[in-house]
Amino acid sequence: MHSGPTHAATVPHKLDFIGDHLAIDFINTLRAHLGEPFEVFKTDEDVRGWLLRAGVSSPSETPNWPAGALLRKARQLREIALKAVQARKAGKCSSLDALNSFLDHSTSHLQLVKRRGSRIEIDRKSVV
């Protein structure tokens, strides 16, 4: 995970949703401003607010986790997504292990599975 100095964004910003894809917008929550990292997610509330503005969560759906847990998980998922995009841009096949390991800690989630050749499919995994 990134470990440099960061600045925080506590209010909506015009750059929040310009990536033409939710995954890219999510990755872009760690930005550069004047050559310095600019962290949009500094608190759990920053993450909740972004999820609400992105339309992927409603106030009743946002998890009530211990303080800091949502922030840690959001940053962890963002780092996984960023590495996958960087691998793709470099012409490499990204490992699905990190993402599937992250998803494995939920009660139900979609899992990416490599099939014959380079085909990837989505399977639902439920923990009973």
Q: What is the pLDDT of residues 6-58, one digit of tens each?
A: 444 445 555 566 667 888 999 999 988 888 988 999 999 999 888 888 888 76
Domain carrying residue 121: 95-128
Distance CA 105, CA 111 (A): 12
Distance CA 120, CA 112 (A): 6
Q: 9 with 35, same domain?
A: yes
CA dihedral 65, 67, 70, 72 (to 10 degrees): -140
Q: 25 with 51, same domain?
A: yes
Q: 28 with 61, same domain?
A: yes
Task: Give me the pLDDT at residue 124, please.
Answer: 75
Per-residue pLDDT for 85 more than 70? Answer: yes
Q: 119 with 82, same domain?
A: no
Q: 83 with 29, same domain?
A: yes
Count of domains in the chain?
2
Does the predicted model carry a pTM greater than 0.75?
Answer: no
